[in-house]
């Protein structure tokens, strides 16, 4: 928070938003972090934003503007207003724990969000150390729906450090946000991958009990790449997905849709639907199709 180059104190500088506090943000620039205030009428920066900022008075900093965003992930809060979570993402890491926590529907909501933002969804099943052989088989069957699309699937446990290598490989040089229910191990995974996260104290010491994340924060990976930790989702309604969006976001349907009898087929009750036929033949996961039907039903209600 100190040592601003004296020659630069009137000049605009560029930085990366690593944390957000309501009326200020932490901006990282050339290895240092500056707490920058926000003006009342300015567009709010979010974690992952590249911003222009400057010093305004002694050790007082302000955000001047936000550089254009590559992507912006939002979620609906209780008032059904879109609430931004993070910007400039390349990947969405969807973290789950073994059943009964695992929710295919929630995974599919996130996958749809990633597809609509054109960012890479990665599905992580964490806490695999808690599963016996039978549970592992059942989990593998669930995950096959995603491998078939294909989406990257990683089985991990923070007690088996090697299991995180696949994740590190997929995330190299990328900016990714970890999302998923509270307690699945998002912060623990980040702490296993980033020394910086341990220093900041993103998780409590092993066995010291629960330490729920309350603020979104960005961490650097040692080999390049950035991981954003976010609070676990408590509400189930994440986004208002329209029918058009739901139709677009199941990308494994695409090779079949041109063979549907109706050009505007929604793959629900229509006759001669090639998507439904593919589901019956096991070429499209029945579980994924079930999520699709639920999303379409939800979209119908919101019209
Ligand atoms: N057995 C086991 N426990 C784990 C694993 N990963 C995390 N945990 C434990 O699960 C608990 C919750 O982990 P967190 O990392 O805080 O979970 P989170 O997803 O960040 O939760 P929120 O911040 O509330 O969203 C902690 O007690 C961790 O030690 C794992 O791979 N195996
Ligand atoms: Mg956490
Ligand atoms: Zn169809």
Which residue ranges make up each domain of the chain?
6-66, 72-229, 243-302
- No. of helices (H) and no. of strands (E), the chain: 9, 13
pLDDT given for residue 259 in this prediction: 97
What is the CATH T-level fold of the domain 6-66, as seen in this structure?
OB fold (Dihydrolipoamide Acetyltransferase, E2P) (2.40.50)
- pLDDT of 252-290, one tens digit each? 999 999 999 999 999 999 999 999 999 999 999 999 999
CA–CA distances in Å: residue 168 to residues 81, 95, 191, 195, 271: 34, 14, 13, 14, 45
Q: Who contacts 287 (Cβ-Cβ below 8 Å, separation ≥6)? A: 104, 142, 145
**213 CB within 6 A, ligand 1:** yes
CATH number 3.40.50.300 is the correct assignment for the domain at 72-229: yes
- Of the bound ligands, which one is closest to the alpha carbon of residue 212? 1
For tokens 């932490």, the residue is 26
Categorize the per-residue pLDDT at 238 as very low, low, confident or very high, splitting at 50, 70 and 90.
low
* Number of C-beta neighbours around residue 245 at 10 A: 16
* Number of C-beta neighbours around residue 181 at 10 A: 17
- Residue pair 288/108 in contact (Cβ under 8 Å)? The answer is yes
Q: Who contacts 131 (Cβ-Cβ below 8 Å, separation ≥6)? A: 98, 139
Q: Which helix (H) or strand (E) element contains residue 15?
A: strand 13-20
* Residue 53 pLDDT exceeds 50: yes
- The CATH code for residues 243-302 is 1.10.40.50
Average pLDDT, integer, range 81-95: 90
Average pLDDT, integer, range 200-222: 70
DSSP conformation letters of 232-269 = PB--S------HHHHHHH-GGGHHHHTTSSSTT--SSS
Q: State how far the Cα of 192 lies from the Cα of 129, in Å rounded to an integer.
A: 15
Query: pTM for the complete prediction?
Result: 0.90
The overall average pLDDT reported for the chain is: 87
pLDDT given for residue 239 in this prediction: 65
At residue 103, what are phi and psi to the nearest 5 degrees? -125, 110
- Of the bound ligands, which one is closest to the alpha carbon of residue 267? 3
**126 CB within 6 A, ligand 1:** yes
Question: Which ligand 1 atom minimizes the distance to the CA of 203?
Answer: 16
Nearest residue (by CA) to ligand 1, atom 14, is: 185
- Residue pair 167/122 in contact (Cβ under 8 Å)? The answer is yes
- pLDDT of 118-132, one tens digit each? 999 999 999 999 999
- Residue pair 299/241 in contact (Cβ under 8 Å)? The answer is yes
């Amino acid at each position: 928070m100190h040592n601003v180059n004296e020659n630069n104190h009137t000049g605009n500088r560029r930085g990366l938003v690593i944390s957000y506090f309501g009326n200020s943000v932490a901006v990282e620039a050339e290895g240092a972090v500056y707490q920058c205030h926000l003006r009342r009428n300015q567009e709010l920066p979010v974690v992952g934003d590249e911003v222009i900022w400057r010093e305004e008075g002694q050790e007082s900093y302000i955000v001047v503007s936000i550089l254009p965003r590559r992507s912006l992930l939002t979620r609906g809060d209780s008032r059904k207003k879109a609430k931004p979570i993070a910007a400039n993402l390349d990947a969405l890491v969807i973290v789950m724990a073994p059943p009964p926590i695992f929710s295919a529907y929630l995974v599919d909501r996130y996958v749809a969000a990633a597809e609509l933002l054109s960012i890479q969804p990665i599905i992580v099943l964490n806490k695999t150390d808690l599963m016996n052989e039978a549970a592992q088989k059942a989990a593998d069957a669930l995950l096959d729906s995603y491998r078939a699309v294909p989406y990257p699937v990683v089985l991990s446990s923070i007690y088996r450090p090697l299991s995180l290598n696949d994740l590190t490989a997929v995330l190299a040089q990328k900016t990714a946000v970890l999302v998923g229910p509270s307690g699945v191990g998002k912060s623990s995974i980040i702490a296993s991958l980033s020394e910086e996260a341990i220093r900041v104290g993103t998780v409590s010491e092993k066995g010291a009990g629960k330490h729920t994340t309350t603020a979104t924060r960005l961490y650097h990976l040692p080999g390049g790449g950035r991981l954003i930790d976010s609070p676990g989702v408590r509400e189930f309604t994440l986004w208002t997905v329209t029918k058009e969006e739901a139709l677009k976001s199941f990308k494994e349907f695409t090779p079949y849709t041109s063979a549907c009898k109706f050009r505007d087929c929604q793959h629900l009750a229509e006759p001669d639907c090639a998507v439904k036929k593919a589901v019956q033949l096991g070429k499209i996961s029945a579980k994924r199709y079930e999520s699709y039907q639920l999303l379409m039903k939800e979209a119908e209600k919101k019209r």
